[in-house]
Amino acid sequence: MKNPVFINCDSTCLPLADGVADLILTSPPYNANIQYDVWNDCMPWPEYWALASRWACEMFRVSAPGGHAVLNVAIDIRTKPTGASRAKEHRERVDVFPLAMPWVETMKQARWVYRGSHIWLKATAPEEIRRSHARFGHDAVPAIINGGELVLVFLNTTTGRPARPNVKPDYLEDRRARMLDANALWCIHQAQPGRDRNWHPCPWPDELAERGVRRYSWPGDIVLDPFSGTGVVPRVAARMGRIGIGCEISEQCIRNAEARCDVRRAHAPARPKQGRLALK
């Protein structure tokens, strides 16, 4: 079989058997009015959170006992007012909506246990944050420059996972990586403009996927991204000796991600665990 595997589907109904994913590493839509090809990213908030609840429950269904879900989400969402509302926005800043905190509660309601979070600083130092983030606003109503996002970590506490060694093979080869991965602050430049941004507005940098895969999964594990976009997570997982699965609603994203993997595939595909990778 190919590794990684890409599936064109709706993430509210993943075509996977129960309990197969050792790690779910993803970034769900933010409802921030980002222009995707097939996804409405500007829906009423009650509708968005109803969908988020279904996503969280479906992720829990396919997660393995003892498995992790690692979600990259924005800390806050700032809408873009127009017309008469723009003046009010500058005076009162009433358009900021917290996104990370409601996501924590939504995941907990789906039986996930919150384990903490990493801060993804999109630079190697705070002063390197891109100029496009620096919208200072009026000093009378100080604005916050948001040059980072959260990486929320959750655990499926269902029992039944076999015991594992105290030290992961990945860290036997690179002990410095263990320190970097465990740190709450991940300083990683965001994906640079290039081919991915030509067909997806929010591509992940490979290093972000590498940190998540290495820290929260083991060689041979099944790593799932239910919002795979450019396919970075499945591709990186396969390269690191895991089995990568990407689910994506956009057929164009699936085609582009598969094309990139066909070009970049340089290692033999990992074999799935016996009986684990079952599709519905």
pLDDT tens for 215-246 read: 999 999 999 999 999 899 999 999 999 999 99
Residue 192 has pLDDT above 70, yes or no: no
Measured distance CA(260)–CA(244) in Å, rounded = 14
Tell me what pLDDT residue 23 has.
98
Query: What would the mean pLDDT of 144-166 be, rounded to a whole number?
Result: 87
Sorting pLDDT into bands at 50, 70 and 90, what band is 193? low
Would you place residue 154 in the very low, low, confident or very high pLDDT band (cuts 50, 70, 90)? Answer: very high
Q: What is the average per-residue pLDDT within 262-272?
A: 48
Whether 278 shows a pLDDT value over 80: the answer reads: no
- Higher local confidence (pLDDT), 85 or 182: 182
Give 156's pLDDT tier (boundaries 50, 70, 90).
Answer: very high
pLDDT the model gives residue 81: 54
How far is it, in rounded angstroms, from Cα 30 to Cα 77? 8
135 has a pLDDT exceeding 60: no
Q: Is the pLDDT of residue 269 over 50?
A: no
pLDDT over 70 percentage in the chain: 77
Band of pLDDT at residue 34, cut at 50, 70 and 90: confident
At residue 264, the pLDDT reads 55
Evaluate if residue 139 carries a pLDDT over 80: no
The whole-number pLDDT of residue 270 equals 44
